[in-house]
Chain A
């Protein structure tokens, strides 16, 4: 064991490859994707193929606890350092466009709960959807949030009831990334709200299931290229074989743990994406200041500008190191729930500060939307990074519980 801060040769190459792609292909289209509410499928297909060939950042990848090289059910090869590789790639891709990674075809956030809880048969069946992305693009999604239950996951009200061989689901899910285009959604419901987490069940609800429909597609402040959907479950009949993990898996609190496991694994990726966007804004501001200010003048005003730039730079650097740490722990099979929450909390905040400060430093010009002037877009895109996958406040709850003795809930 050692202390080291260099990327492997392969990680450096992947990073450079994604960066070049971001500069030459992704950024020039970024604003049009935002304006058109989506990324064209043919482009997504090319990127997905490329990401697969790079080995890192394939749509099947999420932060994994497995320390050694294994092949998981989706057939993805996992090699040493894969978690660090993933966050390095995620930062670079988000630097190019904040929504792109979220739009990539694949199981998305629906992957981790299936991998964690699904039976072998279910893993094969549901990951099988994504075997061949060369002909048709497919997505999976993760449907937990409801109009009345966001951070308070235990408070979901979507009901499920066994009727014959089927489960019947009723309720509404909202803010579901890729929920409308998804071939299947992992939907969380409860057999009895009074049971709290113990009553939770997770289902894979396939598109076309009777009683399943898509409600409205949200109009958002940012990340407008990413689809955010409302899902309606109206006497939705889900076959018993789509209950994730089978009935036996729910004799403990596993239902809720399934929901939460997803986040331990994906928070470092979201943190890395936030840092990529923050870095984009920071670099934009540095270039702007270089071009517009005479920094060598010893006028206090300029010292203040220097200090703000330095502060943003160091907060991003600190958050990146925290993210590397969380991912590196996962690479070594060390539990990292606290560290994942720390990097997510710091990454989101550092990046939001970066975007806010960048606009202020660039003045009026910073707020103007135009080709190759994406700062106002990043400002809109970044805010949600301190909200989704657990708000900054939720991260602090996760951290607090691991700091204080016997703190189960507030």
Chain B
């Protein structure tokens, strides 16, 4: 039965998160932006509300609410401040990475520190991206070489969300150089391991509350037990050629779906602020929203918000209900591209319809426009989501090299 209303439990959670976004996040967005981080009191409240682990499964220490509930809450948070959910203590992308790539027991151990009282100041990260592609083969420049019951990691990892805040990373490196993107390995790396150098964070266009940075791995020793090999069960979708690659793509998909939910929240915020401005700003004797060129633009953005949200909901629902993985991946790819692109249009039109005022930092819309572009580069870009969607539409094998962000195509912040 087709239905579009959150259930009672979801409504209650959405209401309380919306209240938090309205009273705590929205009024302080410029303060957070200037501080380039969330203050401790906000992080503490978010931690008490359990927002850092939302979306993770119960068997690994998450609340087990399902992705559908998670995207409902992420939309509200991003409505308050699109940067904020990056700045709460919590595992972030690290959570989805270990959920998909590690055993449940291993993942629970890795996530336990985030559930403790001090979790509001603990971060996780995923070291996927690299500044350059290898010249002579496909895959990653970073390599992992076996050394007895250890692996030795060498390379430079870039575009890492919360790199300078994280205690632990899932770092990706080439295990078998002859297999390109099908020969990667995932390793748990700790900040204080010898050979790990965290570089200073970058200054970015938007999402200042997040921290985007990089790290260098120099002969970093990782115990074999900390190599994450994906589920032992065979992959559910025939198109995915190994359990590890299946888990890798699922990780990117779910993490990106959360970004898409944030994009919906951002779009809604931009739309609402702009609608209100156009309702009250008078020109030529009437509200500017009473001119068709303006009103039609608002109508288009309203459609964008609603359609992006429906796509995000459906993708999350497919994951939660155990639908065939290809269906869930396709719906996710659609949701990610659509939500990212509509957030950019929402931010752009928000500034445009505010006119000169929109360009001024007195108004929040210029921040939303910068955040929208930054958010489009988080998780998976619309371009990569399109490659994923097309591969599924055409029944092609899912090649991580084609559908995941990388230096040889287009990097994204993971």
Residues of A within 8 A of B (CB): 1-8, 81, 84, 286, 289-290, 295-296, 298, 303, 305-307, 309-311, 313-315, 317-319, 321-322, 324-325, 327-329, 339, 342, 345-346, 393, 395-397, 399-400, 403-405, 407, 410
Closest Cβ–Cβ distance, residue A285 to chain B (whole Å): 9
Q: Are A404 and B402 in contact (CB under 8 A)?
A: no
Q: Are B298 and A400 in contact (CB under 8 A)?
A: yes
With known contacts A296-B396, A318-B338, A400-B299, A3–B4 Cβ distance under 8 A: yes
Among A6, A298, A325, contact of B1 (Cβ-Cβ < 8 Å): A6
Closest Cβ–Cβ distance, residue A109 to chain B (whole Å): 25
Q: Are A307 and B4 in contact (CB under 8 A)?
A: no
Q: Are B386 and A307 in contact (CB under 8 A)?
A: yes
**Most B CB atoms within 10 A — which of A81, A303, A403?**
A403
With known contacts A1-B5, A407-B290, A286–B387 Cβ distance under 8 A: no
Prevailing SS type, chain A contact patch: helix
Among B296, B330, B334, contact of A393 (Cβ-Cβ < 8 Å): B296
Among A306, A315, A321, A410, contact of B310 (Cβ-Cβ < 8 Å): A321
Q: Are B393 and A2 in contact (CB under 8 A)?
A: no
Q: Are A295 and B295 in contact (CB under 8 A)?
A: no
Closest A-B pairs by Cβ, 6 of them: A306-B390, A400-B295, A310-B386, A1-B5, A310-B389, A321-B310
Give the size of the chain B interface in residues (CB under 8 angstroms).
Answer: 57
- Give the residues in chain A near B331, CB-CB below 8 Å: 317
Q: Are A290 and B386 in contact (CB under 8 A)?
A: no
Segment among B29-37, B113-121, B312-320 that sits at the interface with chain A:
B312-320
- Give the residues in chain B near A303, CB-CB below 8 Å: 387
Closest Cβ–Cβ distance, residue A91 to chain B (whole Å): 13
Closest Cβ–Cβ distance, residue A308 to chain B (whole Å): 8
- Give the residues in chain B near A306, CB-CB below 8 Å: 386-387, 389-391, 394
Cβ of B15 < 8 Å from any Cβ of A? no
Q: Are A309 and B313 in contact (CB under 8 A)?
A: no
- Cα(A230)–Cα(B214), bound, Å: 70
- Give the residues in chain A near B10, CB-CB below 8 Å: 3
- Cα(A278)–Cα(B102), bound, Å: 42
Closest Cβ–Cβ distance, residue B256 to chain A (whole Å): 14
Chain B residues 360-414 with CB under 8 Å of chain A are 383, 385-391, 393-397, 399, 401-402
Cβ of B166 < 8 Å from any Cβ of A? no
Segment among B40-48, B93-101, B225-233, B300-308 that sits at the interface with chain A:
B300-308
- Cα(A400)–Cα(B298), bound, Å: 7
- Give the residues in chain A near B292, CB-CB below 8 Å: 396-397, 400, 410
Cβ of B211 < 8 Å from any Cβ of A? no
- Give the residues in chain A near B279, CB-CB below 8 Å: 404-405
Q: Can you list 5 contacts pairing A with B, beta carbon distance less than 8 Å? A: A3-B68, A298-B401, A309-B389, A403-B302, A407-B295
- Cα(A81)–Cα(B1), bound, Å: 8
Among A317, A324, A329, A342, contact of B334 (Cβ-Cβ < 8 Å): A317
Closest Cβ–Cβ distance, residue A66 to chain B (whole Å): 17
Among B3, B303, B334, B401, contact of A322 (Cβ-Cβ < 8 Å): B303
Closest Cβ–Cβ distance, residue A137 to chain B (whole Å): 33
Closest Cβ–Cβ distance, residue B75 to chain A (whole Å): 13
- Give the residues in chain B near A289, CB-CB below 8 Å: 394
Among B1, B278, B306, contact of A342 (Cβ-Cβ < 8 Å): B306
With known contacts A307-B383, A318-B338, A404-B279, A290–B4 Cβ distance under 8 A: no
Q: Are B303 and A342 in contact (CB under 8 A)?
A: yes
Closest Cβ–Cβ distance, residue A345 to chain B (whole Å): 7
What 0/1 pattern do residues 1 to 20 of B give for CB contact below 8 A with A? 11111111010000000000
Cβ of B174 < 8 Å from any Cβ of A? no
Given contacts A1-B6, A290-B394, 17 further A-B contacts (CB under 8 A): A2-B5, A2-B6, A3-B68, A7-B2, A81-B1, A296-B396, A306-B389, A307-B383, A309-B394, A310-B334, A310-B386, A325-B4, A403-B289, A403-B295, A404-B289, A407-B287, A410-B295
Query: Nearest chain-A residue to B68 (Cβ)?
Result: A3
